């Protein structure tokens, strides 16, 4: 958004709407945009999924390749998450080295997968200290219409759930489904004035006073959080948002589990 006057007018409008409990796109303050998951979208990947969260589109491709364990974790496979906010996704992004937004995005998604222990890395070890599976979770943001984080983790978990460990291709054993033990879901909220709204669009992210992402697992634990952007939340706000995140998380877990 380059035009400061339009931004200012829009910000005031978003704020006025929020005061009245309304939003630009007519949603309620605690209402997600429609979610559509297409598992197996890319057949050249070992696992993949396209997630559409309203107009936001994120594609995840999982690749599993033989590699070497890190010296400090000789008995574990390697998990790496990378997010690219490619220039086709928004007028805001330009070609060049990874932007700080894409670094934060991949780290916040990675943190949820890791903290929830979604993948048992010990099972990705082939020969301790010598050979293991490296699991690349690569996220491609195709259309940035806000709240990339939640869409990206949904895409990652859905892609991991349909991923196959390609043992035969690399002659390391049979090709078997990748085991996914836990299903973390991230729910992102922003503050607009005193209103705390879920699943923000770009316009809402541009005008917000703080963003909070909360990752929950199926047992009702909080496994990761990230407060981001300029702004603040009271501990009371945080607990209210955790309660809301748990409800959204359960619904989205159900959706991932039932989408074939």
Partner 1 sequence: MGSVGAKDVPELLDAHGKRIDGRGLHDLRPLKIEAGVLQRATGSAFVEWGENKVMAAVYGPREVHPRHMQQNTKAVVQCRYNMASFSVDERKRPGLDRRSQEISKVIGEALESVLFVEEFPKTSIGIYIEVLQANAGTRCAGLVAASVALADAGIPMSDLVPAVAVGKIAGKLALDLRKEEDNYGESDVPMALVPRSGRLVLLQMEGHMTRDELKTAMDMGVKGCEKIYEIQKAALRNRYSLGGNGGGEAQ
Q: Return the range that interacts with partner 1 (CB under 8 A); candidates 9-17, 30-38, 59-67, 241-249.
A: 241-249
Pick from 29, 38, 35, 30: which is nearest to 56 by CA? 35
Handedness of CA 181, 101, 187, 258 (dihedral sign): negative
- The structure tokens listed for 111 are 């943190």
Among residues 228, 250, 255, 259, which is the contact residue for partner 1, using CB under 8 A? 228
Burial 135-162 (b: 16+ CB within 10 A, else e): bbbbbbbbbbbbbbbbbbbbbbbbbbbb
99 Cβ partners below 8 Å, 6+ apart? 85, 93
- The residue among 88 and 232 lying less far from partner 1, judged by its C-beta, is 232
Taking CB under 8 A as the rule, does residue 172 contact partner 1? no
Q: Provide the minimum distance between the beta carbon of 246 and partner 1 in the complex, in angstroms, as a whole number.
A: 7
Phi, psi of 42 (to 5 degrees): -115, 115
Q: Name which of 38 and 82 has its Cβ closer to partner 1.
A: 82
| β-bridge mates for residue 75, sequence order | none
Does residue 11 sit in helix, strand or coil?
A: helix
Q: Which of 9, 24, 229, 247 binds partner 1 (CB under 8 A)?
A: 229
226 binds partner 1 (CB under 8 A): yes
Span interacting with partner 1, options 26-34, 53-61, 198-206, 237-245, rule CB under 8 A: 237-245
The least distance separating partner 1 from the CB of residue 260, rounded to whole angstroms, comes to: 30
Q: Which of 252, 174, 209, 154 is nearest to 18 (CA)?
A: 209
CB contact at 8 A, 238 and 259: no
CB of 17 to partner 1, least distance (A): 22
Among 43, 235, 258, 260, binds partner 1 (CB under 8 A): 235
Name the helix (H) or strand (E) containing 249.
Answer: helix 235-258
Candidate residues 222, 250, 255, 259; the one interacting with partner 1 per rule CB under 8 A: 222
Q: Which of left, alpha, beta for 240 (phi over 0: left; psi -120 to 50: alpha)?
A: alpha
3 belongs to the binding site for partner 1 (CB under 8 A): no
Which member of 65, 232, 254, 257 binds partner 1 (CB under 8 A)? 232
CA separation for the pair 146, 185 (Å, rounded)? 17
At its nearest, how many Å lie between partner 1 and the CB of residue 247? 12
Residue 196: helix, strand or coil by DSSP? strand
Minimum CB–partner distance for residue 219 and partner 1 (Å): 9
Between residue 100 and residue 139, which ones bind partner 1 under the rule CB under 8 A?
A: 100, 103-104, 106-107, 111, 114-115, 121-122
Under rule CB under 8 A, which residues in 26-65 are in contact with partner 1? none
Binding site for partner 1 (CB under 8 A): 4, 69, 72-76, 100, 103-104, 106-107, 111, 114-115, 121-122, 210, 212, 217, 220-235, 237-239, 242-243, 246
């Amino acid at each position: 958004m380059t035009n400061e006057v339009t931004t200012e007018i829009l910000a005031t409008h978003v704020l006025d709407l929020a005061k009245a409990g309304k939003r630009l796109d007519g949603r309620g303050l605690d209402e997600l945009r429609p979610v559509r998951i297409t598992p197996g979208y890319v057949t050249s990947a070992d696992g993949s999924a396209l997630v559409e969260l309203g107009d936001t589109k994120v594609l995840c491709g999982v690749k599993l390749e033989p590699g070497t364990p890190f010296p400090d974790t000789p008995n574990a496979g390697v998990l790496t998450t990378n997010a690219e906010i490619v220039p086709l996704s928004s007028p805001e992004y330009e070609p060049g080295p990874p932007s700080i937004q894409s670094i934060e995005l991949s780290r916040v998604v990675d943190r949820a997968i890791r903290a929830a222990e979604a993948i048992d890395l010990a099972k990705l070890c082939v020969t301790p200290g010598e050979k293991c599976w490296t699991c690349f979770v690569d996220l491609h943001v195709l259309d940035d219409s806000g709240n990339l984080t939640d869409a990206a983790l949904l895409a990652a978990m859905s892609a991991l759930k349909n991923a196959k460990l390609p043992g035969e291709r690399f002659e390391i054993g049979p090709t078997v489904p990748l085991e996914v033990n836990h299903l973390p879901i991230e729910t992102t909220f922003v503050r607009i004035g005193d209103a705390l709204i879920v699943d923000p669009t770009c316009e809402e992210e541009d005008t917000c006073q703080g963003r909070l992402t909360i990752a929950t697992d199926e047992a009702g634990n909080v496994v990761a959080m990230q407060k981001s952007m300029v702004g603040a939340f009271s501990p009371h706000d945080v607990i209210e948002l955790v309660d809301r995140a748990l409800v959204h998380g359960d619904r989205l877990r159900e959706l991932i589990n039932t989408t074939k």
